[in-house]
Amino acid sequence: MSSFSFADFSKSLTKSIAFSAEGDEEMKEPWNAGVALLNMPYLRESYDDFLRFIKSHKHNEPYDVVMKRGSKVAAPSDQGAYLKFYAETKEFLSTKFNDKPYYLHKGKKPGEVSKVLHFHGAKPHDYLGHWLGIPCSSGVAFLCELTESKPEERPMLCPGLKSFADAITSDGTALLEEYCEFTLGKKAGPRYASICVYFFSTMAEKKPEEIYNCGRIALDANRDGK
């Protein structure tokens, strides 16, 4: 991940919204709203119409969004509402502003592909828990399984977990301890909360070049009974 400014965006900023790809990193259509570029003056101008549009949508069903090739795809909740209402003005946001830890980035170096990393679906503790034998919830299990054999093949996973570790320990370990207790501790017990604290503390202490296989660091922590 690296810093960025308006100079990193296209000279022609979106009139309304810009969303990026979701599960398929090669998809070049706006879809995922997890990280978005929003033209706030235009959204304020269209706010009342947008609210009326939402209220007219009955039974909480997905929104049918028309893709570039003409097919219709069901889009859920707020994401679908934005994509449907702003269909004529929406733009594609480069995946480097909504990178995912499970993307492969074949032929690219991490520094070339990521400005903002989005832990889409599976969160940091989910990946750690999966390596420790704690099943991920059904909704994100397929993402956890992508890292099962060789997490180093997902070039932004370990750097992303280190960035998370750096941030959550920047003012000490109190926030990390609370996070681990509420996530893995609540799900699997105090021992796993302790391993969680040890793992992310270790990740924060290590240099970037030392965390290429964060799955191994997790397994070592589990083996040593941290």
Q: What is the mean pLDDT of each run of 10 residues along the chain (226 residues)?
A: 80 89 91 95 97 88 87 89 96 93 78 84 96 94 81 81 96 97 97 96 93 88 74
* pLDDT value, residue 111: 58
The per-residue pLDDT for 60 is 77
What does the DSSP 8-state code read for residue 117?
B
Distance CA 98, CA 25 (A): 10
pTM for this model (two decimals): 0.87
Instruction: Name 38's Cβ contacts closer than 8 Å, sequence gap at least 6.
Output: 14, 16, 17, 18
Can you give the pLDDT at residue 70? 81
Give the pLDDT score at 218: 92
Alpha-carbon distance of 157 to 63, in angstroms, equals 31
How far apart CA 50 and CA 107 sit, in angstroms, is: 41
Q: Which of 209, 73, 199 is nearest to 134 (CA)?
A: 199
